[in-house]
Amino acid sequence: MGEGFSALKSIAPARLTASASGDDGKEVGVRKRLTWLFLFSTTLVAAAFYHPGSALATSAEGYKTILLAVGRFGDVDVLHSFPRGLRAEENGGLPRHETEGLSDVYVQSNVLAPGGSTGWHSHPGHSLIIVTAGTVTDYEGHDPDCKPHRYKTGMGFLDPGGDHIHILRNEGDVEAKTIAVQLIPADAARRIDVVDPGNCHF
């Protein structure tokens, strides 16, 4: 009886030690899995908030825009909208305009503080822009010489849209204002911020 008890005492510590060692191993494994899970989750969150295009897009400064009106249009065919027998060329050379499918027409009021800018951007459709106060300077992203195009109060100009990238700046010392009428494919983003093309050094 005594010998059996002694043998039991000598075996028990070994079993307890082995059991404790196993628990430590499991704990280390759990820690490793939690660490990898945390790193994986962090990577997913970072990827969700990372957008290469928008991360480097230029932002507007000293610029605000107000939507005055927006309307949905069907197919537009200005060429065939003239009275019978009257051509566009005979009516002061009005432009020919044609669209297929639905379009949204926006009327925007824009204000640029002295030194303000719209930031580099594009539009999926074209815009007719009228300067109602001050002077705005337009720079185009495809122009390697970064030539300024200045428009004063009462002047108008066309932004063709599509892949045309540009920026409007108020380089004067008084507030500048414009009204823009924009024809955009239905439900498309009216404005697309883009990265600085690098041709101008403001």
DSSP, collapsed to helix, strand or coil, labels residue 80 as: helix
pLDDT tens digit sequence for 171-185 = 999 999 999 999 999
Residue range 108-118: average pLDDT?
Answer: 98
Distance in angstroms (rounded) separating the CA atoms of residues 162 and 156: 19
| Whether 131 contacts 155, CB under 8 Å | yes
What residues does 63 pair with on adjacent strands? 112
More confidently predicted of 11 and 84: 84
| pLDDT (0 to 100) of residue 12 | 42
pLDDT at 59 over 80: yes
Distance in angstroms (rounded) separating the CA atoms of residues 168 and 115: 11
- E strands, the chain, are 61-73, 76-77, 98-99, 103-117, 121-122, 127-133, 135-140, 149-152, 156-159, 166-169, 176-185, 192-193
CB proximity list for 186: less than 8 A, separation 6 or greater: 72, 101, 102, 103, 104
More confidently predicted of 81 and 172: 172
| pLDDT (0 to 100) of residue 164 | 95
| Whether 175 contacts 113, CB under 8 Å | yes
Average pLDDT, the chain: 78
pLDDT at 140 over 50: yes
| pLDDT (0 to 100) of residue 92 | 53
| pLDDT (0 to 100) of residue 170 | 98
| Whether 183 contacts 125, CB under 8 Å | yes
Residue range 118-133: average pLDDT?
Answer: 97
